[in-house]
Structure 1
Amino acid sequence: MDVVELLPELVMFRFPVGHAYLWRDPSGLTLIDTGVPGSAPAIAAALEGLGHQATDVRRILLTHYHGDHTGSAAEIAGWSNAEINAHHLDTPMIQGEAEGPPPILVADWERELYAQVHANTDTTTPIAPVKVDHKLDDGDQIDLGGGVTAVCVAAPGHTPGSVSFHLPAPGVLFTGDTIARTPDGTVILGVFNYDPPTAAASLHKQAALAPRIACFGHGDPLTENTAAALHATAEAL
């Protein structure tokens, strides 16, 4: 795992699959997504390297229920009884009470990629369910401290309860898997969507926010010309 500082308050934990992000406030830490199962020790070590303690994590924001984003949520929440925040439609899957809908794979390249991902996915390590303390809806606000608020932006299509988290004051958008960035830097609609047309509409909705920085679940963040890149991707759909 690589640790990348994007802003003094914002750090990326770059995993091979499913990045996580840290928002730092003197009153406590907020983790956005948690990586695959088994990621917690690497995150704890990174926190210590940044001068924090694992118990400083106050809240966890989950963009959706997939295991490469929720896989370590239960373990990390146990460090300090951190509050779990997620959309109410994905809550049953996060809590282990239901299974989510399968994706609709619309192109040959997406089917091939899906097969590759599953061939390299560890299916032996279970994803521990975790209780969602705050079931979110579109527009709900979360106080991150220091005058910074995260707004829950409902962005369904990848999963029923996919969300992005928008921090209007610093201009940061955490997209989860609703938007992605390829290795060559191209911004694309996220893949493996259960409802592709709705996913496309959600990308348009997020592009209209015109963030300064976009943090993706897969692919490197955009820190320059971000609003223009998101707008161009939305218009190309």
Structure 2
Amino acid sequence: MDVIRLTTDLYFLRFPVGHVYLWRDPDGLTLIDSGAPGSGPQIAEAIRSLGHRPSDVRRLVLTHGHVDHVGAAAEIAAWGEVTVYAHRAEAPIIRGEAPEPPPNLADWERPIFERANAGLPPGRPEPVRVDRELDDGDVLDFGGGAHVVPVPGHTDGSIALHLPGPRVLFTGDLAARDPQSPDPQTPIILGVFNLDTAEAATSFKRLATLDTEIACFGHGEPVTRNATAHMQATAERLPT
């Protein structure tokens, strides 16, 4: 895992599968997603390397319930006074109260899906409590106010977070960075392995309307300049 500073307060914790982001405020730390199972010790070490303690984490926001995003959530939730957030449609899955619906894979996605899951433990991760269930328009108390944007399609309860002040967007798996894009001006793609790809495309177009300089994805490198233009260029290529 690598720790990469994107801004004074934003850090990118790069994992082989399922990235994690850390935001620093004077009152404590916020984590966006928790990586795959077993990621907890590496996240804790990253926090210590920045001069903090794991117990300084105040918020854990889960963009959706897939194993590579909630894998270490139960461990992080036990570090101290941590409030765990997720969308109300995703909360029963994260708590282990409801099964996770499988994605509707296109034929070309199946071998990629198998490779992506080869290094992950089988089955569901350890259930974790959700302290606050989120809805459209909720604003979380970090980063000057983090606006919750539901983006169904990848999963029913997927969310993005938009920080209007610093102009940062966390997309979860609704969008991704394409490392092999033939066009460097459009490095962002619609995420894969969706429950409903048409609905995901509609959600992507919503995100493309937000004023964003830095876009942070669950998979692929962040876009650190002029992210809105890149999002809009991709949105124009999506089916109506």
In the alignment, structure 1 residue 219 sits paired with structure 2 residue 216: no
Q: Which moved more, 1:115-124 or 1:19-28?
A: 115-124
In the alignment, structure 1 residue 131 sits paired with structure 2 residue 132: no
Aligned to 2:165: 169
Aligned to 1:111: 110
Unaligned residue ranges in structure 1 (runs of 5+): none
Q: Give 1:104 shift.
A: 1.0
8 A Cα contact 1:100 1:159, kept in partner: no
Find the residue that maps to 1:17 and give its secondary structure. coil
Find the residue that maps to 1:157 and give its secondary structure. coil
Q: Distance in 2 between matches of 1:120 and 1:75?
A: 20
CA RMSD of aligned residues (A): 1.2
Q: Distance in 2 between matches of 1:59 and 1:133?
A: 10
Q: Give 1:120 shift.
A: 3.1
8 A Cα contact 2:31 2:61, kept in partner: yes
Q: Give 1:122 shift.
A: 2.4
The one-letter code matched in structure 1 to 2:42 is A
Q: Give 1:187 shift.
A: 1.0
Q: Distance in 1 between matches of 2:23 and 2:227?
A: 19
In the alignment, structure 1 residue 48 sits paired with structure 2 residue 48: yes
Aligned to 2:196: 195
Q: Give 1:116 shift.
A: 1.6
**Aligned length in residues:** 233
Moved >3 Å (runs of 4+): none
Q: Give 1:208 shift.
A: 0.4
Comparing both structures, which one devotes a greater share of its residues to strand?
1
Q: Give 1:115 shift.
A: 1.9
Q: Give 1:112 shift.
A: 1.8
Q: Distance in 2 between matches of 1:234 and 1:175?
A: 14
Counterpart among 135, 141, 144 of residue 143 in structure 1:
141
Find the residue that maps to 2:6 and give its secondary structure. strand
Q: Distance in 2 between matches of 1:3 and 1:190?
A: 23
Among all aligned residue pairs of Structure 1 and Structure 2, give the percentage whose two residues are the same amino acid: 55
Per-residue CA deviations over 1:102-134 (Å, capped at 9, x if unaligned) read 11112x32122112223333227x511111011
Unaligned residue ranges in structure 2 (runs of 5+): 182-186
Q: Give 1:180 shift.
A: 0.4
Aligned to 1:156: 152
**What pairs with 1:87-106 in structure 2 (closer than 5 Å)?**
87-106=87-106
Q: Which moved more, 1:179-188 or 1:151-160?
A: 179-188
